Amino acid sequence: MITHDIVVVGGGPAGMAAAVAAYDAGVTDVVILDREDSVGGILRQCIHNGFGLHKLGRELTGPEYADVYRAEVEKRGIKVYLETTVTAVTPDRVVTARNREGILKIKAGAVVLAMGCRERSRGALNISGTRPAGVYSAGTAQKLINCEGYMVGRRVVILGSGDIGLIMARRMSFEGAKVEAVLEIMPYSGGLTRNIVQCLEDYDIPLYLSTTVAEIHGRERVTGVTIAEVDERRQVKEETKRYIPCDTVLLSCGLIPENELTRAAGIPIDPVTSGALVDENRETAVPGIFACGNVLQVHDLVDYVSDEAEIAGLGAADFVKGVGPAGNTVETKAGHGVRYVLPQRVHTDKGADVALFMRVTEPFGRVRFTVKSGDAVLATAVRLKAAPGEMEKIVVKNEKLAAATAPITVSLEVL
């Protein structure tokens, strides 16, 4: 067993930003464990642009954004174990990992979980029909095309209008494939508006809302799909069924935080975010174990992942230094129109402002968010529009927070 002050599980954008922030806060004995052969996580396959506008003030590709943080990690001499897969984390912060040299056991002063997320699979979507080759999650196709250099198909139907699905519609078109349609089971797209314009409209790819794949056809390779509209209960309307010939189905139907290690460590999970329950430092309910990035909540932009990871990195550093927050906490709750609020609990005597992050339940026009504790209004914010695909952030001032004794509820009213 070896020891390190901070062990970061995952070397994607979250893990790297957390490690750098912890180092800069004075805890220099930080290591990163990553299962792949280089750091960067999923950014390595995201060769499109649009990364870094908020955080770095310039527009980068995914690999370029990752490289900014890789350079920061290197500059500080933070040790990165590559091709090293963590297989267990215990509540007393023993991290077990495996690589080609053997089994590694590290006793950590603090642990930062930054394992990212995975895509919802065909099986989890319960799509009927046959089980041929040619059904990929969008990210798998993206990896095969962008990292391995192989094309996966010629005629494509994409289910799910999340950002990866939209980006892949454009990517497949670039490489000469015909994207027949992008289908979205909800009555609205979960993707960023800019992606709908730049990836579908610019390429004349139709987006069918309230529509899904009812059946997949083909014995060996996909030969086509039956698509259909759905009603308000997301049940297929039989009379709208129609067949589209294709050889490829890409699925972009949501991301699931990869919290298997978290669960096995006995860390409580929020059923809505599918990530750990955390405080404002991103500390989980198990002392000294922090979480950030897409393993905590699925983000829209990597820029916000980096922000969140810095909070977790600083929190881990404070924990190691023994200066973490103490005192009273109150829970946060999602009120009307709000699906979840993160962090799920807040120290009221922290002595600093706290930003609350949330998603709304459905698309709205102009809304006012109100943050209340009991009858006291802690903050309000007006937005011209709000959509589930775009995370909201509201800052609660230190002095307001200090007076909060009842749970903090965030709700919205349509203006």
Partner 1 sequence: MFDIAIIGGGVIGGMLARQLSRYQLSVCLLEKESDVAMGATKANSGIVHGGYDPEPGTLKAKLNAEGVQKLYDVADEIHAPYRKNGSFVCAFGTPEEEATVRALYERGLVNGIKGLEILTGDEARALEPALSDKVSLVLHVTNAGIVCPYELTLAAIGNAMDNGVALKVEFAVSAIERTQKGFAVIAESGARVEAAYVVNCAGAYADRIAAMVGDDFFTIIPRAGEYMLLDKNEGARVSHTIFQVPSAEGKGVLVSPTVDGNLLTGPTAVKVGAPDHTETTPAGLETVARLAAKSVPSVNFRQVITSFSGVRASEKRGDFIIEPARSVQGMLHVAAIDSPGLTSCVAIADYAIELLREMGLATVEKADFNPVRENPHAFREMSDEEKDAYIKAHPAYGKIVCRCETVSEGEIRDAIRRNPPARDIDGVKRRTRSGMGRCQGGFCMPYVMRLIAEENGVAMERVTKKGADSYQLIGKL
Place of tokens 């308000």: 232
H helix intervals, 175-226: 193-195
Mark 11-40 with x for binding to partner 1 (rule: CB under 8 A) and - for no binding. ------------------------x-----
For 309, how many CA atoms within 13 A lie in the half-sphere containing its CB? 33
Which C-beta is closer to partner 1: that of 145 or that of 298? 145
**Minimum distance between the CB of residue 151 and partner 1, rounded to whole angstroms?**
5
Which C-beta is closer to partner 1: that of 144 or that of 330? 144
Which C-beta is closer to partner 1: that of 175 or that of 202? 175
CA distance 339 to 274: 12
**Minimum distance between the CB of residue 92 and partner 1, rounded to whole angstroms?**
16
Mark 187-216 with x for binding to partner 1 (rule: CB under 8 A) and - for no binding. ---------------------------xx-
300 binds partner 1 (CB under 8 A): no
Mark 315-354 with x for binding to partner 1 (rule: CB under 8 A) and - for no binding. ----------------------------------------
49 binds partner 1 (CB under 8 A): no
CA distance 389 to 337: 14
Query: Which of 261, 263, 282, 280 lies closest to 271 in space, CA to CA?
Result: 263
236 binds partner 1 (CB under 8 A): yes
Contact 147, 141 (CB under 8 A): no
**What 3-state class would DSSP assign to 283?**
strand
Chain residues 121-180 in contact with partner 1, contact rule CB under 8 A = 121-124, 126, 128-134, 137, 139-140, 143-145, 147-154, 175
Instruction: For the chain, state the CA radius of gyration.
Output: 22
DSSP character string of 78-129: -EEE-S-EEEEE-TT-EEEEEETTEEEEEEEEEEEE---EEEPPHHHHT-EE
Which residues contact partner 1 by CB under 8 A? 35, 83, 85, 87, 96, 98-103, 105, 118-119, 121-124, 126, 128-134, 137, 139-140, 143-145, 147-154, 175, 214-215, 219-221, 236, 247, 258, 260, 263
